[in-house]
Structure 1
Amino acid sequence: MPTQTPCPPHAPAAPAPTPVAAPTPVAAPSVEPAPSRLDVAGRLLSLLRDVTTEPRPDNRLEALTLAVAADLPVLLWGEPGIGKTAALTQLADSLGLPLTTVIASVHEPSDFSGLPVVGDDPAEQGVPMAPPDWAVRLVRAGRGLLFLDELSTAPPAVQAALLRLVLERRIGALTLPPGVRIVAAANPRSSAADGWELSPPLANRFVHLQWTHDHEVVVRGLGGTWPRATLPRLDPAKLAEAVDFARRAVCGLLAARPKLVHQLPSSEARRGGAWPSPRSWETTLTLVAFATAAGSSRDVLSLLVRGAVGDGPGLELLASLDRMDLPDPETLLADPAGAELPERGDLRQAVLDGVVAAVRARPDRARWDAAWALLVRALETGAPDLVVVPATTLASLRRDDWDVPAAIERLAGVVTLSRRADRAADRAATRNAPTAKAGR
């Protein structure tokens, strides 16, 4: 048998070598690229545009926001470069409304009336009028400020197409939602680029506000702080009272002055502004109600009323509003000692004239005496010259059996002095007349 050679014992396995970590690469220091010259210019522009706002009394801005709150189309008139567009941009930002600017003069009439789109079966479905993209965006947003710029440079055909947009708020087949407000801007024809006069139907749909610059506002705004536009605060407790007051004011004036209901101006230039019509009187009634509920000042109300129906009818309405707050003559005659007369001279004169007219309408000894007592009170609490005409008229109403009241003695000096002044003025005019004729 062959001899088996014993196998040598196995040697122990060598330990596995410990892995050596790879050296961490050292990142090269990052070097930011130097800003380009345009980037630096952009930063400077950003700093220039970084402005703030502050609450500041501004009658024009308050009138604009009040008309916007009343959902009435507003047209800002002003020379180029005085900040109409900037005011609308700031108004939209303050109210949180997206601003949509449409340059009326660069659009075709179909852009406002709609483009016809032929469907599958026009005989059955008709041909719809497709609205422009900006109108679709406004409808989708449900709210916004539509700014119709350069209105006075729009040709007559475009102005005709805008009639339905401004009055009915329709563009093609779309109707703007209630959350969209309409404001326009225009330059006077003398300073407009190839300008046109506004057509009377379009002009009569707007509240016209004259937009001028204020030196202090411009200086402070260029310093970085502009006035803040805020919607008026309407008092919920005064809403019904405001509507009643506005209706009484407008209806009372038109009942007494029926010719003011509709007055189309004779000149072309005036037809392109504010003038009275049933439509603009309805606008005025709305503005008076909103101004009353907001507690707006007389200056703001004057801007709005005159911007709706024109200066003449607007001033007549303002005078009528003043007379509505005057005390009843019968109340004053019942208690002349406790009567409270207006401070303003024109209103006080109207009250005294009304009292004398009431005595003339129903003459009575007691009422005649009460009117004299009221004139004495007016003499003690106001300008003496205001009682001259009422006292003279009241004296002419005396009956033979009426004794002269003691109050007349207190007024006699004022009336006599006034008559002497009138006679002196007449004599001076007579003396100067020959001199004036000789110098001709």
Structure 2
Amino acid sequence: MPLATAVPHVRPLDVAADLLALLNDSTTEPRADTQLEALTLAVSADLPVLLWGEPGIGKTAALDQLAAALELPLTTVIASVHEPSDFSGLPVVGDDPAEQGVPMAPPDWAVRLVRAGEGLLFLDELSTAPPAVQAALLRVVLERRVGALTLPPGVRIVAAANPRSSAADGWELSPPLANRFVHLQWSYDHEVVVRGLGGTWPKAVLPKLAPGKLPEAVAFARRAVCELLAARPGLVHRLPKNEARRGGAWPSPRSWEMTLRLVAFATAADASREVLSMLVRGAVGDGPGLELLAGLDRMDLPDPEVLLANPAAAVLPERGDLRQTVLDGVVEAVRKRPEQSRWDAAWSLLVQALETGAPDLVVVPASTLAALRREDWRVPAAIERLAGAVSLSQRADRLAGARR
């Protein structure tokens, strides 16, 4: 009689593990991500970053992806479940406290980071940490000290917080702590979520710094920030009056120093305007940040004298507001040094602007330039090409005024 074959015993959780493995099986595809690019640049600049977003939208997942991309071990610390002594250190009494003092023993996660020499420290649930814990975190974020230990330069700090309206027992961040972070608003992409749940998650393309652009990037950033603050001294330090806004980004000498570093890194990485805007506004707030961005636009504008010297080779900005600024600058340059050749060159530039952009942009510069003509200056043929556009625009303005 044949022996019965033993049937292997299958535990219920073994089948469950197989199903979980199938659910976790997914692929990745390269995808540009402005949020992750801004986060990476700020982390590369060795600046503490605070991600603001509703619960469950993927802030922690973004940190996992960033740590993997940067090849750094990730250490997560839930700030709200720790005591102040977990960050400032616990006193350890030695043999002779009067002679040796009482050292402050650091927690185990800090010891691991120091031993590793590098890592990504993720301080989660920051907005639910009570004020005493936030005060203890000041030294960690700014001085990189935890008890008696100093975190090595290879450690980067990122925190996450939920808005007070959606945080359990949430607190507003204290102004000293908030002013030490670059604040990035974090949101989810609907298409990314749908494709990810279907089995294809994005693999972000991280920015790369161009070694040859480093000196130029530093000079550009210093000039941009210094020119703005020289013209607007009131922006150097402006503590918001509203308590909620004090817990976000606002301008101070410290945050302007952070901004300068961010502009340099974004320039060296040739980052997009959207990424640069996120970083700058995340450091000094929306108002000062937008003023700086407007100043950066003006820095990129061509010199009116260069345009007047060779109008045939001129390249005018495509954006209407920037083009208007350039044309106004050209006319102002002619007004300051009126010469027949410069006047003629300005008309050539206006003709180019008419042929390559909106006609209404040349109306005011053309009218102002015509008023600068001296009696002995001949009238260039270019004026005839502009006359139609100017008269048509003026007629349209009169009709619009009549209808009002």
Calculate the TM-score normalised by the size of structure 1: 0.87
Question: 1:136-285 alignment to 2 at 5 Å?
Answer: 136-229=111-204, 231-285=206-260
Matches within 5 A, 1:27-426: 31=6, 33-229=8-204, 231-426=206-401
Which sits farther off after the overlay, 204-213 or 88-97?
A: 88-97
Change (3 A) 1:280 1:118: same
- More off after superposition, 53-62 vs 338-347: 338-347
- Amino acid in the other structure paired with 2:286: D
Structure 2 Cα separation of the partners of residues 78 and 426 of structure 1: 47
Answer yes or no: is the 8 Å Cα contact 1:95–1:231 preserved in 2: no
How many angstroms apart in 1 are the aligned matches of 2:167 and 2:306?
A: 56
CA 230–139 in structure 1, closer or farther in 2 if over 3 Å, else same: farther
Is the 1:95–1:230 contact (alpha carbons within 8 Å) kept by the matching residues of 2? Answer: no
Deviation at 1:134, TM superposition (A): 0.9
In the TM superposition, residue 360 of structure 1 has moved relative to its aligned partner by 2.2
Shift of 1:331: 1.0
Q: In the aligned structure 2, how far is the partner of 1:308 from the partner of 1:29? A: 74
In percent, how many aligned pairs have the same letter? 83
Structure 1 residue 125 displacement after superposition: 1.0
Look up the SS of the partner of 1:389 in the other structure.
helix
**TM-score, with structure 2 as normaliser:** 0.94
CA distance in 1: counterparts of 2:178 and 2:343, whole angstroms: 52
Deviation at 1:394, TM superposition (A): 1.8
Q: Which amino acid aligns with 1:83?
A: G
Which letter does structure 2 place at the counterpart of 1:222?
A: L
SS of the equivalent of 2:158 reads: strand
1:411 is displaced (CA, Å) by: 1.7
Q: Are the aligned partners of 1:165 and 1:171 in contact in 2 as well (CA < 8 Å)?
A: yes
How many equivalent pairs are there?
A: 402
Counterpart code for 2:253: P
Question: In structure 1, how many angstroms separate the alpha carbons of the residues matched to 2:234 and 2:332?
Answer: 25
Instruction: Give distance in 1, aligned partners of 2:251 and 2:28.
Output: 37
Any gaps of 5 or more consecutive residues in structure 2? none
Shift of 1:105: 0.9
Question: Does the aligned pair in 2 maintain the 1:385–1:418 contact within 8 Å?
Answer: yes
Q: In 1, are the aligned partners of 2:32 and 2:205 still within 8 Å (CA)?
A: no
Quote the offset at 1:107 in angstroms: 0.9
Query: Cα deviation per residue 1:124-163 (whole Å; 9 max; x = unaligned)?
Result: 1111111111111111111211111111111111111111
2:225 and 2:152 map into 1 onto residues whose CA distance is 29
Query: 1:42 offset after TM fit, Å?
Result: 2.5
Shift of 1:340: 1.8
- Larger mean CA deviation between 214-223 and 359-368 belongs to 359-368
Structure 2 CA distance, aligned partners of 1:174 and 1:87?
28
- Measure, in 1, the Cα distance between the counterparts of 2:135 and 2:303: 49
Q: Say what the alpha-carbon RMSD is for the aligned residues.
A: 1.8
Cα distance in structure 1, aligned partners of 2:35 and 2:229 = 27
